[in-house]
Structure 1
Amino acid sequence: MKVLIVEDKAYIRQGLINLLQLIDFEVDIIGECESVKEAVIVTKACKPELVFLDINLTDGNAFDFLEQTEQLDFKIIFITAYEEYALKALKIGAVDYLLKPVDINDLEVALQKVVNTPLSEHKQHINTVKKVWKEEDSNLILSLHDSFQVVDLNELIYCESDKGYTTFYCLENKKYMVSKTLKEFEERLTNATFIRPHQSFMVNLKFIDKYDKSGVIYLKNGKKIPVSSRKKENFLRAFLNWNKC
């Protein structure tokens, strides 16, 4: 079986390759990718039969990839960290997924299930996952002091973290503060259109007006966001890819 691994962390890709070599299952690993852009190119060129697909990628998420390859025939085993919102979609869709770090027994079970599921049935499961994901992916529910606030991610401009609290800044000068760190929201927001250019900030790519090469993001509302040297490369990759869309 021709296999493509789409995962943004090199050590996880290598770990998965090592596990595949240990089990009694014949695979031909045709490539490794860390971004949606790379994965789409390789998939169209090499036509894998099975894709191990990470939820979060450097320039988007698994569902961006699926939308751009929906005409191709291949099966999928998702790879994900423990994220309630992602797992809900996967479970409802009845598709196979592996939690990080990948366990060899779980891998064998997932592979066997994929092999035994007809492609047409598998694609129906994937379509269910995409539908559930889209229904849940546009909103974020924040637990405030006295209520639960629904935030439309299309209206969320940026988030700022300070001393264990995170403030969400939205259109129409709305803002909400929660007693959680930004880290607790990072993977959820990365699945949308957000990037973390600095330890204290996450920014919606849609609201960036320009990036100054000195290391400053200018948002459309006039706010300036610093880009740390450690996160500069990842930010630029996401920013430039976003503006190519």
Structure 2
Amino acid sequence: MKALIVDDERLARNELRRLLENFPKIEIIGEAANAEEALDLVDKLHPDLLFLDIQMPGKTGFELLTEIEGSVPDVIFTTAYDEYALKAFEYNALDYLLKPIDPNRLAEAINRLEEDIRHEEFKRENAKLLTAEDQVFVKDGEKCWFVKLGKIRLFESMGNYVRLHFDDQKPLILKSLNALDEKLDPHSFFRANRKHIINLQWVEKIEPWFSGGLLVTLKGGEKIEISRRQAIRFKDMMSL
């Protein structure tokens, strides 16, 4: 389990690193003093877990999580403030530890993390990725469709919902884009940015875009930006 410590206080980072020495399954692969440093490290090191402070100079820990593209690591918040606890769990936090961190509470959080990992591994082993050939049932209000995934050219995040684009239809389903990303076959569907997953079979044109990104035009007419970070992954995946 690769972990990243994100905290603007050096002493707090050192103390947490010392406490984590008692948990050999947790490998600290890096530290960041603010959200910008953390974003770069998440992109380069792909941690499984963040020990994340909330109040930091510049962006908060919450803002950091909204800017991570692709799969978001598991999160254990570490903070001196108890008033953010409810908001923290809106971000699917595994736990919320108050400073100074109690070793027993840290052990509880790590045990919960290990249980969640075992549960997720079991689900992955018994789950089948959805391919372009699979058909899914979609219901939006009074309307229903039984549509082949290969016909869906774009998945667009709309808060807690995802809008599907197929034919001339754009129904909403109650599901997060992250949850869909885990279920869709990556050979057919690509996470272009925080808000969009595109069907690679529907890509009509690709152009260079700002800051090292790409602009993809789909056969349905939609223009979707592939962010700089995802553009690197896209080029690696699609190149010979």
Q: With structure 1 as the length reference, what TM-score do the two structures score? A: 0.46
Q: Which has the higher contact order (CA 8 A, sep 6+)?
A: 1
Q: Which has the higher helix share?
A: 1
Q: With structure 2 as the length reference, what TM-score do the two structures score? A: 0.46
